[in-house]
Structure 1
Amino acid sequence: MSRSLVSMSRRLLSVDKASNWRCYCSSSPPKETLFVGGLSWSVDEKSMKDAFSSFGEVTEVRIMYDKETGRSRGFGFVKFSKGGDARSAKDAMDGKEFVGRPLRISFAHDKVRGVPVVVPHIRHV
């Protein structure tokens, strides 16, 4: 870690020790990828792409499957070519029913491997 980053972290931590806050030191979430939770087991990539294509160009759809059973784990990801299209899709589809179940949609976060994520939590003194 660079000295300037360590110095900045120390200054931020010493600003107000009585405050309760968290600092996530990771890259910002990609604004064009959505996490889609609450999927029915019968949903496939094609039906998901069809549902989200009305908001813009969908470049990738991934549904996560259980390795042992091969059944959907109930969530997936939709990637748009433009962040504005992803925002529109999130606003319109979050909480809406899709194949009998309400969707939970948020912006996806990068999966960080091998890099520690610093999350200091300061308690009230």
Structure 2
Amino acid sequence: MSIYIGNLSYDAVQEDLEEVFREYGTVKRTQIPVDRETGRSRGFGFVEMSSDEEEERAIEALNGAEWMGRQLRVNKAKPRENNRSRQGYSGRGGGGGRY
């Protein structure tokens, strides 16, 4: 399981997240998704720690905390929904004519 961090500063990078979460345990992985077109952070990220106890400590300490000028939302990440299960999905990629 991993931790979801919402309302991140657009200036935050993965190393920043790792440094903050390292105070609560061993960080196994960090990720800040970026917009495909602009390369800019999407304003949220994920952190995976080595144990559930470490994750709980980090969530408790950082949820609602101000960091880089923003109030963080920190909680357990929910499993990603399968986009193909959305109503109206035709099974076609819409690749814009690229074959």
Instruction: With the length of structure 1 as denominator, give the TM-score of the two structures.
Output: 0.64
Counting aligned pairs with the same residue, the percent is 34
Moved more, 107-116 or 42-51: 107-116
Matched, 1:101 2:93: no
Shift of 1:34: 0.5
How many residues are aligned here? 86
Larger radius of gyration: 1
Structure 1 residues 22-69: Cα deviation after superposition (integer angstroms, max 9, x where no partner): xxxxxxxx3xx1000010011000011000001000000000111001
- Between the aligned partners of 2:83 and 2:73, the Cα distance in structure 1 is 28
- Between the aligned partners of 2:79 and 2:24, the Cα distance in structure 1 is 23
- Between the aligned partners of 2:68 and 2:83, the Cα distance in structure 1 is 37
Partner of 2:28: 59
- Between the aligned partners of 2:12 and 2:51, the Cα distance in structure 1 is 24
Taking only aligned residues, the RMSD between alpha carbons, in angstroms, comes to: 1.7
Instruction: With the length of structure 2 as denominator, give the TM-score of the two structures.
Output: 0.81
Q: Choose between structure 1 and 2 for higher RCO, CA contacts under 8 A separated by at least 6 residues.
A: 1
The unaligned stretches of length 5 or more in structure 2 are: 86-99
